[in-house]
Copies of this chain bind each other. A is one copy, B any other.
Amino acid sequence: MTFDVTILGCGAATPTTKHNPTAQVVNVHDKLFLVDCGEGTQIQLRKFKIKFQRINHIFISHLHGDHYLGLVGLISSFHLLGRKSELHVYGPADLQTLIDINLKLSDTYLNFPIVFHATNPKEQQILFEDGTLTIESLPLKHRIECTGFLFREKPFPLRVKKDKIKEYKLLPSHIIKLKKGEEAELENGKIISAEEACWPPIKSRAYAYCSDTAYKEDLIERVKEVDLLYHESTFLETELERAKVTFHSTAKQAAAIAQKAQVLELLLGHYSSRYKEEESFKREAEEIFPRVLLADEGLNFQVGEVIEIKD
């Protein structure tokens, strides 16, 4: 039951030899989701040996170049490498125009369909849903329209203990009821409770991605108790004024959101190229919130606890 995040780029607007522009791969139950796609993302995917034809859903937060300029190149490579399957792209409505004009001018007719889903920067909306996962947009506060993304596992069904199935000779009809948390009545009239026959429910996990944004109070409720919160920290508190003007956050502000939302862990990134090291971001955030992680290219972060289903 994989749920993790691989950082492909965590620099801010001007890429350096140290940090690529923003991109992440979120792996939920072995489905790969690409979140933002700065210049050079396809090279990073290759470098970190992520099979990029397995990516069927790409989420773009906003139309600043460091978050989308790698998208057309990636789409082009998908095409050249023979992709046939649908690609879903979620982002600001104008992103579709950008994709279309680039493909038109390069006289490219894709071998696969792009299904475009325009995000609404004003409201939290479900963008993707399958049997085990929802992905929602998170309205952020930036110089231009921008959304984050919230990945949340759906509640897990209860799992009936194997020894109880044997002991009570449970039938499929009993098991269906127990999995839903209902009682099951055996043929001899005995009532079996879900509590007795099932393992305690596995806690669903959640990952929130918030880049780029100024400090935004209403985010706290939206990312309440997520396991991992990626919150941009372009600046340190010494550059608070600059953060305000550019609609970015400081490490301290990111930590304040994490602390108020009572998340499990905070992951910092989107570091301005003016800083030569990132430990000071961690130190600043840790004054407010204890569990701080630093994004770096190639690092992989587990979301919540590792779930290994045995029995």
Interface residues of A (CB under 8 A from B): 13-17, 20-21, 39-40, 42-43, 46-47, 63-66, 69-70, 72-73, 76-77, 80-81, 94, 97-98, 101-102, 105-107, 143-144
Contacts and interface: CB of A to CB of B under 8 A. Distances in A.
A63 to B, nearest CB: 5
B80 A76 contact: no
Contacts of A65: 72-73, 76, 102, 106
A105 B92 CA distance: 10
Given A14-B77, A65-B73, A102 B98 contact: yes
Contacts of A77: 13-15
Contacts of A17: 43, 46-47
A12 B113 CA distance: 24
B97 A46 contact: no
Q: Which of A39, A70, A72 has the most CB of B within 10 A?
A: A39
A40 B15 CA distance: 9
B143 A63 contact: no
Contacts of A46: 15-17
A122 to B, nearest CB: 17
Nearest to A63: B105
27 contacts: A13-B76, A13-B77, A13-B80, A14-B76, A14-B77, A14-B80, A14-B81, A15-B42, A15-B77, A16-B43, A17-B43, A17-B46, A17-B47, A39-B40, A39-B43, A63-B106, A65-B72, A65-B106, A66-B76, A94-B105, A97-B101, A97-B105, A98-B101, A98-B102, A98-B105, A106-B144, A107-B144
Nearest to A81: B14
Contact of A39 (B47, B66, B70): B70
B39 A73 contact: yes
A20 to B, nearest CB: 7
Q: Which of A77, A101, A144 has the most CB of B within 10 A?
A: A77
Contacts of A144: 106-107
A15 B42 CA distance: 8
A13 B80 CA distance: 8
Given A17-B46, A64-B106, 8 more contacts: A15-B43, A16-B43, A39-B39, A39-B43, A66-B76, A69-B69, A97-B101, A98-B102
Q: Which of A47, A76, A81, A101 has the most CB of B within 10 A?
A: A76
Contacts of A14: 76-77, 80-81
A296 B15 CA distance: 22
Contacts of A15: 42-43, 46, 73, 77
A260 to B, nearest CB: 30
Contacts of A43: 15-17, 20, 39-40
